[in-house]
């Protein structure tokens, strides 16, 4: 019966001949799904944005940096400059604890970089060979720095996409020579992180080369170390170990927040996780309420519709309709109406997101995708509630004697 063409013609006719009823049901389902899809998409975009912003750094790493002191300690004045040097890094990574990955990171801002015909100002950054893994930077072409590059202070560099675009246009930069701060380097690789112009404006060179060629000194800038497989607690212990060791070495007051800072990304990551959970929960709650409101709306309309149609049900029975055929008619109509308007709402939602997304790119917002599973589940819930809320009053209407239905007011 459900698949008979006759039934569908009858339903199609009913739906078209009652535009008000159709529009109301359609609107309450379609709008519900539409809001749900857009909310989901925006929430997802927010999460994506925050995640991307955070994704610059691997979650299992410590960032160790120093600055001028803010407090006097052991007879030394405040405002003393603290620098991390090769020796500090060595103590941290070879004596203090085991770490699978580590890197220095020293930045030379506003460095002039020249290719054949073009030049621009970018950042030259000295790092170790593990840096790409610690920062999880995607390589586009060529290769990363090797251990030998660092060991031999090779004049090689891996450059970001912005530099590639600005200096090489469409030309392949691999193997080409460029001048960093007037010193010739060979380009061995290029990288690109989507949406991060800041990262893409860096030329990465071995830290040893930076120290020897540009500074003639042994500062390492920041030190990044991986906490490996350590748990959040173990990583935290590792962080305070590094912190304590550096304070001791450089005579920094234990309360000096600026002079020595060890940022534990494990903890930050856990915090972000909580934020994401919050965002997700928010989306679910909003989505749930939207869905609930939609379902109630549909149920309401359906029960009104069936009441309105009670006399019609009586007429149909007088003309020989069985109760089953009437229930089928109403329920299939409800299902068809809710599914179609739900799908339309879904399409409208997806199109809206597609349209809005390019205008909404922001540091904390990117790529607002639609979760198809969630959307289909929501659609299913609405269709089901439409069917059930059609079924209940329809069953009531057909259970009464035909004459009662005919006399219904």
Partner 1 sequence: MLSLRSIEKSYPLAGGQLPVLKGIDLIIEQGEMVAIMGSSGSGKSTLLNVLGLLDNFDAGSYHLDEVDMSELSERQSARYRSRFLGFVFQSFNLIAFKSALENVALPLFYQKIPRRERQKRALAMLERMGIADRAHHLPSELSGGQKQRVAMARALITTPRVILADEPTGALDSVTSNEVMDVLREVNSTGITVIIVTHEADIAARCDRTIRLKDGRIIEDGNSKVVIEPTAHGYTPDAS
Closest approach of Cβ 2 to partner 1, in Å? Answer: 15
Say whether residue 320 binds partner 1 (CB under 8 A): yes
Tell me how many residues contact partner 1 (CB under 8 A). Answer: 25
- 184 burial level (CB within 10 Å; 0-12, 13-18, 19+): exposed
Spatial distance between the Cα atoms of 224 and 246, rounded to a whole number of angstroms: 14
207 neighbors 93 (Cβ within 8 angstroms): no
Site for partner 1 in 81-120 (CB under 8 A): none
Token representation of residue 252: 């920094």
Q: Which of residues 8-37 bind partner 1 (CB under 8 A)?
A: 9-10, 13-14, 17-18
| Residue 307 in the binding site for partner 1 (CB under 8 A) | no
Query: Is 319 among the residues that bind partner 1 (CB under 8 A)?
Result: yes
Q: Does 2 bind partner 1 (CB under 8 A)?
A: no
> Where are any strands of DSSP class E within 155-305?
156-160, 177-180, 183-191, 202-206, 222-226, 260-264
CA 350, CA 376: separation in Å to the nearest integer? 13
- 400 part of the interface to partner 1, by CB under 8 A: no
What is the C-alpha to C-alpha distance for residues 83 and 218, in angstroms, rounded to an integer?
10
Considering the rule CB under 8 A, would residue 406 count as an interface residue with partner 1?
A: yes
**With respect to partner 1, which residue has the nearer C-beta, 5 or 74?**
5
Helices (H) and strands (E) in the chain, counts: 14, 10
For residue 360, the 8-state DSSP code is: G
Least distance between partner 1 and beta carbon 51 (Å): 53
| 3-state SS track over 129-161 | CCHHHHHCCCEEEECCCCHHHHHCCCCEEEEEH
Does 321 participate in binding partner 1 (rule CB under 8 A)?
Answer: yes
Binding-site member from 251, 311, 347, 374 for partner 1 (CB under 8 A): 311
Judged by CB under 8 A, the residue of 78, 270, 285, 318 near partner 1 is: 318
**Pairing label, strands 156-160, 139-142:** unpaired
Q: How far is the CB of 394 from partner 1 (least distance, A)?
A: 15
Contact 40, 286 (CB under 8 A): no
Q: Cβ(142)–Cβ(188) under 8 Å?
A: yes
Is residue 339 close enough to count as binding partner 1 by CB under 8 A? no
Alpha-carbon distance 267 to 184, whole Å?
Answer: 41
Q: Which stretch binds partner 1 (CB under 8 A): 92-100, 108-116, 248-256, 396-404?
A: 396-404
Residue 406 beta carbon to partner 1: minimum distance, rounded to whole angstroms = 7
Among 194, 322, 362, 396, interactor with partner 1 by CB under 8 A? 322
Q: Which is nearer to partner 1, 274 or 401 (CB)?
A: 401
Shortest Cβ 387–partner 1 spacing (Å):
22
Alpha-carbon gap, residue 180 to 157, rounded angstroms: 9
72, 138, 254, 324: which one contacts partner 1 (CB under 8 A)? 324
Q: Shortest distance, CB of residue 286 to partner 1, whole angstroms?
A: 38
Does residue 315 contact residue 406 with C-beta atoms inside 8 Å?
Answer: yes
Q: State in angstroms the smallest separation of the CB of 383 from partner 1.
A: 24
Three-state DSSP class for 99? coil
> Segment contacting partner 1 (CB under 8 A): 136-144, 220-228, 232-240, 315-323?
315-323
Q: Which residue number, 254 or 324, has a Cβ lying nearer to partner 1?
A: 324
Residue ranges that bind partner 1, judged by CB under 8 A? 6, 9-10, 13-14, 17-18, 311-312, 314-325, 401-403, 406
């Amino acid at each position: 019966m459900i698949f008979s063409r006759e039934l569908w013609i009858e339903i199609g006719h009913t739906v078209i001949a009652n535009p008000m009823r159709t529009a109301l049901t359609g609107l309450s389902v379609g709008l519900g799904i539409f809001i749900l899809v857009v909310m989901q998409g925006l929430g997802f975009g927010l999460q994506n944005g925050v995640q991307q912003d955070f994704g610059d750094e691997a979650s299992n790493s410590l960032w160790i940096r120093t600055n001028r002191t803010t407090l006097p300690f052991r007879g030394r004045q405040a405002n003393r400059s603290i620098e991390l040097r090769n020796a500090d890094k060595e103590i941290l990574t070879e004596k203090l604890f085991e770490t699978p990955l580590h890197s220095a990171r020293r930045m030379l801002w506003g460095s002039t970089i020249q290719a054949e015909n073009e030049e621009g100002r970018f950042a030259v950054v000295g790092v170790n060979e593990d840096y790409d893994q610690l920062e999880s930077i995607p390589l586009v072409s060529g290769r990363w720095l090797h251990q030998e590059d660092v060991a031999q202070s090779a004049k090689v560099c891996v450059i970001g996409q912005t530099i590639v675009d600005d200096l090489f246009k469409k030309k392949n930069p691999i193997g080409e020579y460029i001048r960093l701060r007037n010193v010739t380097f060979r380009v061995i690789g290029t990288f690109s992180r989507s949406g991060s112009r800041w990262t893409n404006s860096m030329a990465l060179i071995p830290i040893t080369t930076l120290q020897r060629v540009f500074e003639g000194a042994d500062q390492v800038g920041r030190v990044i170390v991986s906490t490996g497989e350590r748990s959040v607690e173990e990583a935290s212990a590792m962080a305070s170990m590094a912190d304590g060791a550096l304070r001791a070495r450089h005579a920094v007051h234990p309360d000096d927040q600026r002079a020595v800072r060890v940022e534990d990304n494990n903890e930050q990551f856990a915090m972000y996780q909580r934020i994401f959970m919050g965002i997700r929960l928010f989306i679910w709650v909003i989505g749930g309420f939207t869905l609930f409101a939609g379902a109630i709306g549909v149920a309401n309309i359906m029960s009104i519709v069936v009441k309105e149609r009670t006399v019609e049900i009586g007429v149909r029975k007088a003309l020989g309709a069985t109760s089953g055929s009437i229930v089928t008619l109403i329920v299939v109509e409800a299902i068809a109406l809710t599914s179609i308007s739900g799908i339309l709402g879904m399409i409208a939602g997806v199109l809206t997101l597609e349209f809005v997304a390019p205008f909404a790119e922001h540091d904390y917002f990117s790529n607002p995708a639609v979760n198809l599973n969630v959307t289909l589940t929501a659609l299913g819930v609405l269709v089901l509630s439409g069917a059930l809320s059609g079924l209940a009053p329809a069953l009531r209407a057909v259970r009464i004697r035909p004459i009662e239905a005919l006399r219904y007011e």
